[in-house]
Amino acid sequence: MDRLLGRSGTIRLLGLELADISLPEVAEALARRPARLPFSYVVTPNADHFVRLGQQRDRLLPYYLAAGALLLDSRVVRRLARLLGLRVPPVVTGSDLTAQLLKQWITPDEPVTIIGTTLESVAHLVRAFSLTQVAHFAPPFGFESDPRLIDQCVEFVRLHPARFVFLACGAPRQELLAHRIAESGGASGIGLCIGAAIDQIGGIETRAPPWMRSAGLEWCWRISREPKRLGMRYLQDVAIIPALIRERMRGLVT
């Protein structure tokens, strides 16, 4: 595994080694990596990721183990884990990391590659940050089940080298794609598996107010705006609670 964050420590939680490092430190470490180095990628697991891993561990775990960095993207998981007495790393969400990179480290004339999301979201992002060299490819829904479409995404990244490649396809599609790009070879830069971050930062999808995010209540905001799409997903994420309890019990036994 290419350690994108240098010698930063990790904290093991629910079977993953999560980076024990703050948002500004993460952004700086990624930004200082030479763009010409071989492709590596960052995954930001949230409650949904952990639940999926528990259900499909053999299939999904290789995507996470091959990542150059894993960052905790859930204040809910962090608070629950702390209540149970588990060690937890800082929260670094995909949206916050993307925003930090765009505001502080990515210049308007720097090449940026985006896979996923919509033309409208990308157009908003371009206007918001005055970006002039954005290469965007939006594969069709269900692309992860078609090897030819996955190969098209991989080839697009190869043909549009950039220091940062934003993979905005949703989990676990973006992690599968990042893993395939890294395995295939020939690509450079850092892939960031960031879900809906571009929609949020570009203004298409409104994020929760800062006080709600700090309180770990962003999920309430999102579910109130998209109850049909997100209601069942967040209900399923309740499975993270027994998973954390089992982890705590294992710690007590050992």
Contacts of residue 43, Cβ cutoff 8 Å, sequence gap at least 6? 49, 63, 64, 67, 69, 70, 71, 175, 178, 193
- The 10 Å Cβ neighbour count of residue 179 is 22
Q: What is the DSSP letter of 102?
A: I
Q: Side-chain half-sphere of 248: how many Cα atoms within 13 Å?
A: 15
- The 10 Å Cβ neighbour count of residue 180 is 17
Q: Which of 22, 24, 15 is nearest to 45 (CA)?
A: 15
Q: Side-chain half-sphere of 236: how many Cα atoms within 13 Å?
A: 14
Instruction: Write out the chain's pLDDT in tens, 254 residues.
Output: 468 998 789 999 999 999 999 999 999 999 999 999 999 999 999 999 999 998 999 999 999 999 999 999 998 899 999 999 999 999 999 999 999 999 999 999 999 999 999 999 999 999 999 999 999 999 999 999 999 999 999 999 999 999 999 999 999 999 999 999 999 999 999 999 999 899 888 655 665 566 556 655 565 555 555 555 544 454 455 678 778 888 888 766 54
- Helix, coil or strand: residue 43: strand
Per-domain residue ranges of the chain: 10-253
Contacts of residue 200, Cβ cutoff 8 Å, sequence gap at least 6? 95, 206, 207
By the 8 A CB rule, do 217 and 208 touch?
yes
Helix (H) or strand (E) holding 112: strand 112-116
